[in-house]
Amino acid sequence: MTGSTAASPGTRRGRSLVVAGAGLAGLTLALALKRAHGPALAVTVCDPALKAGAVRHRGRAYAVAAGGRRMLECLGIWTELGPGAQAVTEMVISDSRLADPVRPAFLTFGAEADREPGEPLAHMVEAEPLAAALLSACRAAEVDLVPEGIRRAPVEAGAVAVELGDGRALRASLLVAADGARSRLREAAGIGWVGRAYPQSGIVATLSHERPHGGRAFQHFLPSGPFAVLPLADGGRLGHRSSIVWTERAADVPALLGGDAQDVLAEIERRFTPELGRIALEDGPSAHPLALGVARRFRAERLALLGDAAHVIHPLAGQGLNLGLADAAALAEAVTEALRLGLDPGGPDVLADYERARRFDTVAMAAATDGLNRLFSNDSLTVRLARDLGLGMVDRLPGLKRFFAGEAAASRGPRLLRGEPL
């Protein structure tokens, strides 16, 4: 830890901020603020996972929507990530049973959604290089990276008194809880959580395949849940790669993944996109419990919730991290406006602005993903008929297409998502 943020005698009141959590949301916020304010704002990120050098994200890849990509460009890290990112130019949606011999495309969309001409729907970005680029940009911008967790953080005399795992103390005008879905800081602040666990797990893996994907993403809605095939940059043993996000009933996962590598590959092959040819496992699979949850408030006194600490949604639309990036853009903007006006960046008005900017979109996205999961993780004939009719209409509804492309909020969202610096 450098001296600038420790126990703070030299830190001007109202000019320091502590982020709990060096996940992708926490690091993005820290970088955005440090790039905008330089030495005028001390930014510390604390995370015990930094003891290993960086937070591990092995085998994960994210569909970063156009707004998130514009933000990463503004923050100066897209030049490094762009060459390894895969543009998603088309999304093909099918609705079939597992045993159906063909999976006719139900809905296909690409260039017509609300983006710049020629702008892809999203870019698939692998989490390890994204985290590494954020971390090294944070170091270069002099974000203080502390490999300790936050034990407690009471508000005392107009500042947050942050106590680290090793007993050291920091003072800050604002604490940002970016400490993930089971946020202890959210709990300690007494902020309620509305949600429930899904009886499903999300299985993620990286595959290589024989034939090129041509930038197409596939979402196969199968009775036990959606199976997404998301294009990655070429490579791997068979020359072309995709990432899968496979939703299954949690109770079935041990049987599906418990066999040897050949059995697991055979289960994936039954669900995979046949036109991509032969497949091989490159990384994973790993299974993750799925849940829906939104915090009752996104703020408390001198505390803002960010990323999964504020909301957790079903991964079927690949929007969880995009919500976290939008949170980072909105909070960085609210804090910046306060600092430019000489106001306290942890004051109630700043946090109210942030909450107002994020709450509606978050709740709308949580409800939409939950509704789609209920509608599609189902084999009832009437539900199948209703959704087939519904999807035909969706094809003509640009709003829902934009939702799948993660673009619903970007055009009216915070500056960084529009590609404008703070």
Ligand X SMILES: Cc1cc2nc3c(=O)[nH]c(=O)nc-3n(C[C@H](O)[C@H](O)[C@H](O)COP(=O)(O)OP(=O)(O)OC[C@H]3O[C@@H](n4cnc5c(N)ncnc54)[C@H](O)[C@@H]3O)c2cc1C
- Spell out, one character per residue from 117 to 136, where the chain touches ligand X: x when CB under 6 A holds, - when not: --------------------
User: Which of these segments, 48-56, 134-142, 213-221, 257-265, binds ligand X (CB under 6 A)?
Assistant: 48-56
Tell which positions 360-379 bind ligand X, by CB under 6 A: none
- Specify the residue, 63 or 400, whose C-beta has the smaller distance to ligand X: 63
If one asks whether residue 63 binds ligand X (CB under 6 A), the answer comes out as yes
- Specify the residue, 321 or 335, whose C-beta has the smaller distance to ligand X: 321
- Specify the residue, 14 or 406, whose C-beta has the smaller distance to ligand X: 406
The CB-of-143 to ligand X minimum distance in angstroms stands at 14
Among 67, 202, 226, 231, contact with ligand X (rule: CB under 6 A) = 202
Other CB atoms within a 10 A radius of the CB of residue 51 amount to 11
Pairing of the two strands 174-177 and 16-20: parallel
The CB-of-19 to ligand X minimum distance in angstroms stands at 8
If one asks whether residue 189 binds ligand X (CB under 6 A), the answer comes out as no
Total interface residues for ligand X by CB under 6 A: 33
- Spell out, one character per residue from 296 to 325, where the chain touches ligand X: x when CB under 6 A holds, - when not: -----------xx------x--xxxxx-x-
Among 14, 67, 120, 149, contact with ligand X (rule: CB under 6 A) = 149
If one asks whether residue 409 binds ligand X (CB under 6 A), the answer comes out as no
- Specify the residue, 203 or 238, whose C-beta has the smaller distance to ligand X: 203
The CB-of-186 to ligand X minimum distance in angstroms stands at 10
